[in-house]
Amino acid sequence: MKATLNWEHSTGKKPSAKLTLATAAAGGEVKLRATVTEASILNKGPSLEGVVLALEKPDAFHVDYHVLKRDCHFKFMNTIKVLEKPLEFTYKHEWCDKSVIHLDTTLALDNDNKVSANCTLSPEDKNKCKFKYKHHHNKGLTTLKPSYEVVHNVWDFAVSQKIYDINTLKASYKTSNQNLGLKWSLASKHNGTFKIKASLNLGEKLKVPSVVAKTTFNFEM
């Protein structure tokens, strides 16, 4: 059994934590997961708040059941060949959350270039459709990610740089809300990850940065 502990702290908010237990079934092809948060234990004693049960088959399907909300989130994945190039499909359906549907497709043009489309269909007319382009440069150490959101006619830009394999520095800018972001992440194959992210809204008169720190620990039980 594998356990993952996530801890997050951001400016102006209380720290949050999440514990996930995962085990393999059906000869290792299917994974069972159970997740609890600090709200499941600390908020007025033990409760079902934040408890999620999941059934997952990598690269095939993923089903989350939110116990307290009695809500299911479905995710189905598949890959086909188009002109000998892999085209990945992902379908997500948030059953009780006003039946929101997400459709994602990604086409790998080659090892360094990918194009993708992400669409959200909502009964409340909050539809979105974003096209993304991803380019690896300098043997994959530098990544460029421009994107265009069709419905609201806005562009987003991001660039990331790997440093010594386990460190990644990323800068991003969202034209929709004039949000400038900077993130540093440290990934370890054995101990987990550490991320710290700072964002600044350039459109606000009082420019106060928001800082979020996230830590993930992985361990076997």
Residue pLDDT, tens place only, 21-31: 999 876 778 99
Instruction: Report pLDDT digits (tens) over 126-165.
Output: 788 999 999 999 888 999 999 999 988 999 999 999 998 7
Helix (H) or strand (E) holding 40: helix 38-41
Task: Share the mean pLDDT of the chain.
Answer: 88
Contacts of residue 137, defined as CB under 8 A and 6 or more positions apart, other chains included, come to 112, 143, 144
The per-residue pLDDT for 26 is 66
Contacts of residue 51, defined as CB under 8 A and 6 or more positions apart, other chains included, come to 34, 35, 36, 40, 66, 67, 68
Mean pLDDT value across residues 90-111: 87
The per-residue pLDDT for 43 is 67
Q: What is the percent of the chain with per-residue pLDDT over 70, rounded to a whole number?
A: 95
